[in-house]
Structure 1
Amino acid sequence: MNIKIAFFSLARTTFFMPSAEENFKKSCDMLKGIFNNISIPEELLTSPEMLSEFADTLPQQDLIIYQCSTFVGGEFVTELTRRFNCPIVVWAVREPSIDGGRLKLNSLTGAFSAGNSIRMQGHQHEFVFGNPEEETVITKLRKIGSAVEMTKKLRNLVIGVIGSQPQGFGFGNIDEAKLSGTFGTRIVRTEAASIMNKASTYSNEEIAKALDELKSRTEGYDKMPEENLQKYARLRRSYEDFIEETGAGAVASRCWPDFFTGFGAPVCAVLSMLNDNGIAASCETDIGGVISMFIGAGFSGEATYFGDPVAVDEKCDSIVYWHCGAGASTLANDKEGSKLGVHPNRKIGPTMEFGLKSGGVTVLRLGKDRDGFRMFIFKGEALEEPQKFFGTSVTVRPEGGKAAEKIAEFVRDGWEPHFVVAYGDVTEEIKTMCSLLGIKVLKY
Structure 2
Amino acid sequence: MSTYGVVALARPTFDVEFAEENKNRAFAALDAAGIATVGPRELLFDGPAVVAAAQAIQSAARIDLLLIIQVTFTDASMTVHLARDIEAPVALWGLPEPRAGGRLRLNAYCGINLAAHALGKAEVDYGWLYLSADAAGIEQRLRDLLQPLPPRDSRISRPGAATDPAAQRVMRALAGSRIGVVGRHPDGFDTCAYDGPALRRLAGVEVESVELETLFARAKAADDDRVAAVRARAQRDLAGLGAVDQAQLDRSLRIYCALQDVQADTGASSLAVRCWPETFTDYGCAACGPMAMMNEAGVPCACEADVYGSLSTLMMQELAQAPVWMADLVDIDAGDDTAVFWHCGLAPLSMCDPEAQPQATIHTNRKMPLLHQFPLKPGRVTLARLSQAKNVTKLIIGGAEMLRAPMAFTGTSGTLRFDRPAAAVCATIMDEGVEHHYAIAYGDYRESLRALAAQMEVPVLELT
TM-score after normalising by structure 2: 0.63
Is 1:441 aligned with 2:440?
Answer: no
Is 1:409 aligned with 2:428?
Answer: yes
Cα distance in 1, alignment partners of residues 419 and 179 from structure 2: 32
Q: Map residues 236-385 of structure 1 onto 2, 5 A cutoff.
A: 236-370=256-390, 372-385=392-405
Shift of 1:293: 0.8
User: Counterpart of 2:393 in 1: which secondary structure?
Assistant: strand
Shift of 1:233: 1.8
Cα distance in 2, alignment partners of residues 337 and 296 from structure 1: 26
Q: Per the alignment, do residues 369 and 312 of structure 1 end up closer, same or farther by CA in structure 2, a change over 3 Å counting?
A: closer
**One-letter amino acid matched to 1:351:** L
Larger RCO of the pair (alpha carbons < 8 Å, separation 6+) = 2
8 Å CA contact retained: 1:125, 1:436: no
Q: How far does the alpha carbon of each residue in 1:379-415 deviate from its partner, in whole angstroms, 9 at most, with x for none?
A: 1100111111121111121114x10221011110110
Counting aligned pairs with the same residue, the percent is 27
Q: How far does the alpha carbon of each residue in 1:115-134 deviate from its partner, in whole angstroms, 9 at most, with x for none?
A: xxxxxxxxx9945xxxxxxx
- Equivalent residue for 1:188? 208
Q: How far does the alpha carbon of each residue in 1:337-363 deviate from its partner, in whole angstroms, 9 at most, with x for none?
A: 321101010111111111111101111
User: Counterpart of 1:284 in 2: which secondary structure?
Assistant: helix
8 Å CA contact retained: 2:389, 2:435: no
Is 1:230 aligned with 2:250?
Answer: yes
Cα distance in 1, alignment partners of residues 203 and 378 from structure 2: 32
In structure 2, stretches of 5+ residues that fail to align are 1-158
User: Counterpart of 2:197 in 1: which secondary structure?
Assistant: helix
User: Counterpart of 2:304 in 1: which secondary structure?
Assistant: coil
* CA RMSD, Structure 1 to Structure 2 (Å): 1.7
Q: Map residues 141-160 of structure 1 onto 2, 5 A cutoff.
A: 144-160=164-180
Cα distance in 1, alignment partners of residues 269 and 349 from structure 2: 19
User: Counterpart of 1:388 in 2: which secondary structure?
Assistant: coil
Most deviating of 222-231 and 262-271 = 222-231
**One-letter amino acid matched to 1:415:** V
8 Å CA contact retained: 1:250, 1:281: yes
Is 1:217 aligned with 2:237?
Answer: yes
**One-letter amino acid matched to 2:178:** V
Match of 1:425 among 409, 422, 444: 444
User: Counterpart of 1:189 in 2: which secondary structure?
Assistant: strand
Cα distance in 1, alignment partners of residues 279 and 364 from structure 2: 15
8 Å CA contact retained: 1:218, 1:329: no
In structure 1, stretches of 5+ residues that fail to align are 1-123, 128-140
**One-letter amino acid matched to 2:298:** G
8 Å CA contact retained: 1:303, 1:330: yes
User: Counterpart of 1:349 in 2: which secondary structure?
Assistant: coil
Aligned length, in residue pairs = 305
Cα distance in 1, alignment partners of residues 406 and 160 from structure 2: 44
8 Å CA contact retained: 2:400, 2:419: yes
Cα distance in 2, alignment partners of residues 125 and 443 from structure 1: 14
Q: How far does the alpha carbon of each residue in 1:268-288 deviate from its partner, in whole angstroms, 9 at most, with x for none?
A: 011000000000111111111
Q: Map residues 83-162 of structure 1 onto 2, 5 A cutoff.
A: 126=161, 144-162=164-182
Match of 1:200 among 211, 220, 237: 220
**One-letter amino acid matched to 1:442:** L
Cα distance in 1, alignment partners of residues 391 and 285 from structure 2: 39
Shift of 1:226: 2.1
Shift of 1:370: 5.0
**One-letter amino acid matched to 2:449:** I
Most deviating of 212-221 and 404-413 = 212-221
Cα distance in 2, alignment partners of residues 267 and 161 from structure 1: 14
**One-letter amino acid matched to 1:410:** I
Is 1:394 aligned with 2:420?
Answer: no
Cα distance in 2, alignment partners of residues 216 and 287 from structure 1: 32
Shift of 1:157: 1.6
Q: How far does the alpha carbon of each residue in 1:316-372 deviate from its partner, in whole angstroms, 9 at most, with x for none?
A: 311111111111111111111321101010111111111111101111111014554
Cα distance in 1, alignment partners of residues 253 and 218 from structure 2: 12
Cα distance in 1, alignment partners of residues 388 and 319 from structure 2: 22
